[in-house]
Amino acid sequence: MKLYMTPGSCSTGIHILLEELDLVFEAHLVNLLAGDQHKPEYQAINPKATIPTLVRNDGSALTEFAAIAYWLARTHPKAGLLPGDAEGDSRVLELIDYVVGTLHGQGFARLFTTDKFTPNPDDFAAVKAQGLNIVRQGFDIVNSRLPAQGYALGAFSIADAALFYVAFWADKSNITLPDNCLAHYRLMCSRPVVKRVLMEEGYRLP
């Protein structure tokens, strides 16, 4: 398989899951700042021009964090990356959707890609402030549903990989995480696979 990824991005969560499953794959770096996602050779694989993209052994490409994470969990059921019951699986998908759609797509996107939300540089500060507010409120909502210790929904699941990457962004952006989110982040950082992935992607351990 081939994982098209950018170090320190949302693709880090998929990188973690692939390593957790001990799967063999090639890592292909996509430099977003240089515009690699818009090159014809990449858009031939993923016309959405997004990351992550996982090209599977049959040559088909799967995109979107939630879809890739779900596929990995369903195709490797013995790893227990999904609870396996309707309620548990729904809660996992609920958390992933909120992390990807709101914390990432509405909050951090305004902080990291401000120009996509307004063409006027005079509005950048207001857009960033809105993004920061979304991020803080989002973490507060997640925090209220997280246990004081342990993983998000009991056992380690694909939801933890999603929550980790936005918490990692918060850490690198000096955004204070509420207590339960911080405890979860520290727990994730203690996992050997997470430590290895961060080192492979060129980051110092938090």
What's the pLDDT score for residue 101?
A: 98
Domain assignment of residue 40, given as a range:
2-79
- Judge whether 143 lies within some domain: yes
What's the pLDDT score for residue 204?
A: 80
Q: Is the dihedral of CA 134, 138, 141, 143 positive or negative?
A: negative
State pTM to two decimals: 0.95
pLDDT tens series, the chain, 206 aa: 999 999 999 999 999 999 999 999 999 999 999 999 999 999 999 999 999 999 999 999 999 999 999 999 999 999 999 999 999 999 999 999 999 999 999 999 999 999 999 999 999 999 999 999 999 999 999 999 999 999 999 999 999 999 999 999 999 999 999 999 999 999 999 999 999 999 999 998 76
Same domain, 152 and 67: no
Residue 132: CB atoms within 10 Å? 16
Calpha distance 41→53 (Å, rounded): 13
What's the pLDDT score for residue 206?
A: 65
- Judge whether 206 lies within some domain: no
- Judge whether 56 lies within some domain: yes
User: Of the candidates 79, 105, 138, which is a domain's last residue?
Assistant: 79
What's the pLDDT score for residue 60?
A: 98
User: Of the candidates 22, 51, 79, which is a domain's last residue?
Assistant: 79
**What residue has token string 């351990």?**
205
Same domain, 98 and 27: no
Same domain, 54 and 103: no
First-to-final CA distance of the chain: 29
- Judge whether 197 lies within some domain: no
Pair of tokens at residue 29: 């770096």
Q: How many Cα neighbours within 13 Å face the side chain of 133?
A: 6
> Could you give the number of structural domains in the chain?
2
CATH number at residue 107: 1.20.1050.10
What's the pLDDT score for residue 205?
A: 73
Calpha distance 152→183 (Å, rounded): 10
Same domain, 92 and 143: yes
* 32 neighbors 46 (Cβ within 8 angstroms): no
What's the pLDDT score for residue 45?
A: 97
* 14 neighbors 197 (Cβ within 8 angstroms): no
- Judge whether 53 lies within some domain: yes
